[in-house]
Amino acid sequence: MPHLLVIGGSDAGISASLRARELDPATDVTMVLADAFPNFSICGIPFYLSGETPDWRHLAHRTREEIEATGLAVRTDTRALEFDIGGRRVQLAGPDGREEWCPYDRLVIGTGAVPIEPPIDGIRQEGVHLLRTMGDTFALEERLDRAERAVIVGGGYIGLEMADALTHRGLGVTLLEQAPEVMTTVDVDLGAIVSQELLRRGVDVQTSALVERIERRGGRLVVSGTDLSPAEADVVIVVVSVRPDSALAREAGIALGVRGAIAVDRRMRTDAPDVFAAGDCVETWHRLLAKRTYMPLGTTAHKQGRIAGENAVGGEREFEGSLGTQVVKVFDLAIARTGLRDDEARREGMNPATTQIRTWDHKVYYPGATPMELRITGDRDGRLLGAQIVGDHRGEVAKRIDVVATALSAGMRVEDLSSLDLSYTPPLGSPWDPIQMAAQDWLRATAPAQAGAAP
Ligand SMILES: Cc1cc2nc3c(=O)[nH]c(=O)nc-3n(C[C@H](O)[C@H](O)[C@H](O)COP(=O)(O)OP(=O)(O)OC[C@H]3O[C@@H](n4cnc5c(N)ncnc54)[C@H](O)[C@@H]3O)c2cc1C
C-alpha cells in the first residue's frame, strides 16, 4: 500500500489528507502535526477570546474521531525534524521526545506560517504575546483573565479582530499601527473608515506609530516608540505579519521562492521528487498577474491542500490561482477586497482607473438600510481588475465582493457586471445591486459613451 505522509494538520494538511483518501482509499495516509489540535479553525481564535464562541473545542472543523473515521492515521504532538529526500523518509519526534524515521512514497508539506517578531526591545518578556496557534491562544487567555488593558501592535486584520474581541471581553484597548492607516490591504481612505469605527467603539488608535520598546514599570507594561503616546497595559499582543514556515524544506535542499516560501508549480509540486507542498508555507499563483506571490489565507490553504492531496495520489489538477479575496468584520463594519487596487495594478504596468460610490445595501424605505462604500478598479481598456468594499457587516459586503471575485475568475469586463442577473428584494438589495451601480459609475467616469442606462 503506498504511503502518503502529510506534515501539518491544519487547513492545508487536512485538505490534502482527506482528498487523497477520498480519491484513493487504498493509499495509507498519515497526518502528522506538532500540536494537539488537528483541523482546528485558527481563524476562529478571536471569537473564542472574545467569548462569542465560549468553548474552544467548537473551533474544530471536525473532531479527531471524525477525521480518523475517514481512515486517516493522525499523529498529534509529533514534530518533523528533518526531511531526507534521497532516503524518502522524515525524522519525527513524538510526544515523549522519541525520535524515529518515518518512510514515505509521497510527501505533502503543510507546515504553515509563523508570526514575524518585529525588532522591538523587550518583546520577549512575560505579558507579551504573539498569536497563531491554539497554544498561543490558551497562554494569552490566561493573561487576559487578569488584565484590564491591552495594547495590540499591528493594525492588520488579526489586530483589528483582536481589538474588537478584547473590547467585547471588557478590556480597554490601544491599537498601534506603523502605517498611516490601519488595514493596509485596502486604500488609505477606506482604512480611515475602519479607524473611525475603532475610535467610535472606544479603542485608542494610533497610526504612523513606530513601536520600539516594551518596558515593565511597576506591575504594568509600557509600550513606546517614535510618533506615539506611550501606552500602558497588562498585556501586549504583537500581530504584525507572518512568514512561511519553510525552514525544514530549505534544509532539505528544496527550492524556495517569493518571500522564502516553498517554490511550487501549479500542481503544488516542489522541485523534489514526489514532494508536494501547500498552504501558508508556499508561494501562491496569482490569477490576474499570472505570477507567484505570497498570500497566506485559509481559503487558499484549503484549495492548495486539496490539489496537493489529489496529485499526490496520481492526479493532475492545477491550482487556478488566488485573487486575494478577503473579508473581515470589525465591530459593525465589514471590509472586503478582491483582485488588484489601483496602485498595485499601476506597479504591474497596467493603466488602471478607480472610482468610488457610496450607496445603500438595500432600498432605504425598508428598515435597517446601511451605507456602503464601493470602489471598483478596472483597466482603461475595460477589463475588471478588482474591488474594495466597506460597509455595515449586515449589509452583505461579503456577497458583493464574491460577485466581483467570480467575475474576475471568469475574466469579465467592468461592463459585464452591469448585465449580471443578480437577485433583488427591497429588504436585501436594489434592482441594480450596489456592485452594478459601482460598475456603471466606473463606466461613466472612464468611457461616458458606454455608460448605458443609469440606475
Ligand atoms: C487569528 C487568525 C485569524 C485568521 N483569520 C482568517 C480568516 O478570517 N480568513 C482566512 O482566509 N484566513 C485567516 N487566517 C489565516 C489562516 O488561518 C491560515 O492561512 C491557515 O491556517 C493556513 O493553513 P496551513 O495549513 O497552511 O497552516 P497552519 O494553519 O499554520 O498550520 C500549520 C500546521 O503545521 C503543523 N506543523 C508546523 N511545523 C511542523 C513540524 N515541524 N512538524 C509537524 N507539524 C508541523 C502545525 O502544528 C499545524 O498543524 C487567520 C489566521 C489567524 C492566526
**Active-site residue 43, yes or no?**
yes
Under a CB-based contact definition with an 8 Å cutoff, are residues 87 and 107 in contact? no
Instruction: Quote the pLDDT of residue 453.
Output: 40
Grid coordinates belonging to 438: 459601482
Residue of the CA atom closest to atom 21 of ligand 1: 298
Ligand 1 contact, 277 CB (< 6 A): no
Assign 154 to helix, strand or coil: coil
**Residues with Cβ within 8 Å of residue 419, at least 6 apart in sequence:** none
Residue 309 Cβ contacting ligand 1 at under 6 Å:
no
Collapsing DSSP states into helix, strand and coil, what is residue 359? strand
Is there a contact between 358 and 308 (Cβ–Cβ < 8 Å)? no
Q: Which residue is closest in CA terms to ligand 1's atom 3?
A: 43
C-alpha 225/C-alpha 230 separation (Å) is 7
Q: How many helices (H) and strands (E) does the chain have?
A: 12, 25
For residue 116, report the distance from its CA to the centre of ligand 1, in Å.
Answer: 14
Tell me which H or E stretch contains 113: strand 113-115
Q: What is the atom index within ligand 1 of the atom nearest the CA of 248?
A: 41
Q: For residue 125, how far is its CA from the centre of ligand 1 (angstroms)? A: 24
Place of cell 499526490: 312
- What does the pLDDT profile of the chain (455 residues) look like in tens digits? 889 999 999 999 999 999 999 999 999 999 999 999 999 999 999 999 999 999 999 999 999 999 999 999 999 999 999 999 999 999 999 999 999 999 999 999 999 999 999 999 999 999 999 999 999 999 999 999 999 999 999 999 999 999 999 999 999 999 999 999 999 999 999 999 999 999 999 999 999 999 999 999 989 999 999 999 999 999 999 999 999 999 999 999 999 999 999 999 999 999 999 999 999 999 999 999 999 999 999 999 999 999 999 999 999 999 999 999 999 999 999 999 999 999 999 999 999 999 999 999 999 999 999 999 999 999 999 999 999 999 999 999 999 999 999 999 999 999 999 999 999 999 999 999 999 999 999 999 997 545 444 44
The answer to whether the pTM exceeds 0.85 is yes
Instruction: Find the length of the chain.
Output: 455
Alpha carbons within 13 angstroms on the beta-carbon side of residue 254 total: 32
Q: What number does the ligand 1 atom closest to the CA of 35 have? A: 47
Closest CA to 109 of 126, 85, 77: 85
Q: Ligand 1 centre and the CA of 239: distance in Å?
A: 14
Ligand 1 and 295: CB distance under 6 A: no
Q: Exposed, middle or buried by CB within 10 Å (0-12, 13-18, 19+), for 68? A: middle
Q: Which helix (H) or strand (E) holds 93?
A: strand 89-93
Angle at 278 between CA 12 and CA 138, to 5 degrees: 40
Is the C-alpha dihedral spanning 172, 177, 180, 181 positive or negative? negative
**Residues paired with residue 387 on neighbouring β-strands, in sequence order:** 338, 376
12: Cβ below 6 Å to ligand 1? yes
Alpha helices by DSSP H, listed for 69-182, are 134-144, 157-169
Which amino acid is it at 380?
R
Encode 155-182: b = buried (16+ Cβ within 10 Å), e = exposed. bbbbbbbbbbbbbbbebbbbbbbbeebb
Regarding the beta carbon of 79 and ligand 1, being less than 6 Å apart is answered yes
